[in-house]
Amino acid sequence: MEMQKVPEAGYKIEGLWISGLQRHLTLDNLAFPLKVISSVARATKLVKNFKPHAVVGVGGYASGPLVFAATRQGVPALLQEQNGYAGLTNKLLARYVQKICVAYPGLEAYFPAQKLVFTGNPVRRDILEARHLKAQGLKHFGLRPERKTLLIIGGSLGARTLNKSIQKGLDQLLEQGVQVIWQTGKFYYDTLYEATKHQQGELLRIMPFIKEMPLAYGAADVVISRAGALSISELCLAAKPSILVPSPNVAEDHQTKNARNLVQEGAALLVRDAQAPEELVPEALRLLQDAAQQQELSRNISRLARPQAAEHIANEILGLIK
């Protein structure tokens, strides 16, 4: 995605021939040593030509060769770990960098404690406004203030389990008068739009992608979401009662660990992916009717918000340069 988005934003981007290790024997794994050697050599050349004052690694595969090559040349370095469980690349790089910015407590188990800085994850600043956009959000989506509103977000590509679970329980939601804002993702939208034509009306808003996320958060009484690091950071800023359904198809099952961190703080509810088709909609209906638990979840998740995360990380980088 970044090979397209970064040039569109007006910045140059260079790619490295690198990928992650698979859990089983594959041709990609056999080529991995060659990829590492090639990528470190190219990264070394990039650093020499670009002459950076600092480098930042955010855990992707390309961070490994680049941060390693830069620190070998004496360039100060910083890592950002977005999740509640440290990824392999960041764990391998930790010894070479000066600072590690984290978004969850307890990462001393993976990194040197003296290098850790608790910053949170940077997210869109306008998400913070969602707390004050209830009336505006409902008006934007054509919904009524006296009804409960459920927001489902599975990312721009969509989440199969979330879509399957909501489709299965949609009649139950609508029969109980719940207003539904459902972001299906572009891959699933056409199929789900056709499948729900008979249910579409004043209670259901189904769309492939939501551009006006602050308004969607503002309108929602309860949010159903995956448990990616940036999704959780947005929910913290928006202070929304949330049911998290971690994706099982991610490295080290880190979304489950992200979600459990919030559950331990009384800041969110968790429904496992395998149980979602049966349990997700009933749990959402129960929470929508429990105003006291909604308030408690909202209060606890808002305490985890870090609205100044981007500035904090930037200041740490500037400190390395100085």
What local confidence, expressed as pLDDT, does residue 24 receive?
A: 63
The pLDDT, as a whole number, for residue 22 is 64
Q: Residues within the annotated binding site?
A: 83, 124, 156, 210, 255
Q: How far apart are CA 235 and CA 69, in angstroms?
A: 36
Per-residue model confidence (pLDDT) at position 23: 60
pLDDT for the residue 157 = 66
How many CA atoms, within 13 angstroms, populate the side-chain half-sphere of residue 154?
24
On whether the CB atoms of residues 177 and 203 are closer than 8 A, the answer is: yes
Q: Domain 2-121+308-321 adopts which CATH fold?
A: Rossmann fold (3.40.50)
Cα Rg of the chain, angstroms: 21
Q: How far apart are CA 92 and CA 102, in angstroms?
A: 16
Cβ–Cβ under 8 Å, residues 221 and 294: yes
pLDDT along the chain (322 residues), means of 10: 90 87 67 85 96 94 94 97 90 97 91 96 90 96 97 83 96 97 94 93 94 96 95 95 93 88 96 97 98 98 94 97 88
- Separation of alpha carbons 42 and 49, rounded Å: 11
Looking at CATH, the fold of the domain delimited by 125-302 is given as Rossmann fold (3.40.50)
Binding residues for UDP-N-acetyl-alpha-D-glucosamine: 83, 124, 156, 210, 255
Listed in order, the ranges of the chain carrying CATH 3.40.50.2000 are: 2-121+308-321, 125-302
Q: In this structure, are residues 144 and 138 in contact, taking their beta carbons and an 8 Å threshold? A: yes
Q: Note the pLDDT of residue 219.
A: 98
DSSP annotation string for 208-246: S--S-HHHHHHH-SEEEE---HHHHHHHHHHT--EEE--
CB 292 within 8 A of CB 274: no
Give the pLDDT score at 2.
83
pLDDT at res. 34: 84
